[in-house]
Amino acid sequence: MTSPCPIINRRLIITHHPSPMIKVVTTLIERVTHSPEETILLGREIAALLRPPCLVLLEGDLGAGKTTLVKGIVAGLGVAGEEEVTSPSFTLVHEYGSGAKVFHADLYRIEGARDLATLGLEDLSSQAATVLVEWGEKLGDNAPIPCVKIRMEHLGRDDRRILIEKVDA
Q: What is the pLDDT of residues 49-108, one digit of tens each?
A: 898 889 999 999 999 999 999 999 999 999 999 999 998 877 788 999 888 899 999 988
* pLDDT score, position 84: 94
Say how many Å lie between the first and final Cα of the chain, rounded: 14
Q: Is residue 3 part of a domain?
A: no
The CATH number that applies at residue 108 is 3.40.50.300
pLDDT grade for 14, boundaries at 50, 70 and 90? very low
User: Does residue 1 lie in a domain region?
Assistant: no
Instruction: Count CA within 13 A, CB hemisphere, residue 46.
Output: 33
Whether 37 is in a domain gets the answer yes
- Output the pLDDT for position 156: 92
The H or E element containing residue 94 is: strand 93-96
pLDDT at 19: 52
Do the domain assignments include residue 119?
yes
The helix (run of H) or strand (run of E) holding residue 119 is helix 113-119
In a domain, 81, yes or no: yes
Q: Is residue 82 in some structural domain?
A: yes
Q: How far is CA 157 from the centre of its chain?
A: 23
Specify the number of domains making up the chain.
1
Looking at residue 123, what is its pLDDT?
Answer: 74
Q: Which residue has the higher pLDDT, 3 or 124?
A: 124
Q: Distance between CA atoms of 1 and 52, rounded to whole angstroms?
A: 8
Q: Report pLDDT digits (tens) over 118-169.
A: 777 777 777 789 999 999 888 877 777 788 999 999 999 999 999 999 888 7
Residue 7 has pLDDT above 90, yes or no: no
- Is residue 4 included in any domain, yes or no? no
Query: Is residue 137 in a domain?
Result: yes
pLDDT for the residue 1: 40
> What pLDDT is stored for residue 139 in this prediction?
83
Which range of residues forms the domain containing residue 149? 9-168
